[in-house]
Amino acid sequence: MRVFQVNVAYKSSWALYSCDKTTPLGVAAGDAPYAFSGKRATMDANDVGIQKSLKKWGPDFFKANAGVPDSKV
């Protein structure tokens, strides 16, 4: 299962990060977004801690909880 976080900010800019070891594009995931709007992605100092927390939380949460209820499969 893959988890995607979207960061939406003023003027609808966005960035996609992967919690998996590889991105959906098939390359190794790092701390940088694998897709974003605009010319380049920027991060504030407090975003680094939030991103690390989400990368740790995401896989553990979805490992323990079904993304789609069994009744919908």
pLDDT tens-digit profile, the chain (73 residues): 677 777 665 566 788 888 888 888 888 888 888 888 888 888 888 888 888 898 888 888 888 887 777 777 6
Residue the block writes with tokens 């909880």: 65
Q: Are 5 and 17 in contact (CB under 8 A)?
A: yes
The values of phi and psi at residue 68, to 5°, are: -125, 130
Residue the block writes with tokens 């801690």: 49
The pTM is what? Answer: 0.60
Q: What is d(CA 72, CA 69) in angstroms, rounded to the nearest whole number? A: 5
Q: What is d(CA 54, CA 48) in angstroms, rounded to the nearest whole number? A: 10
The values of phi and psi at residue 17, to 5°, are: -120, 150
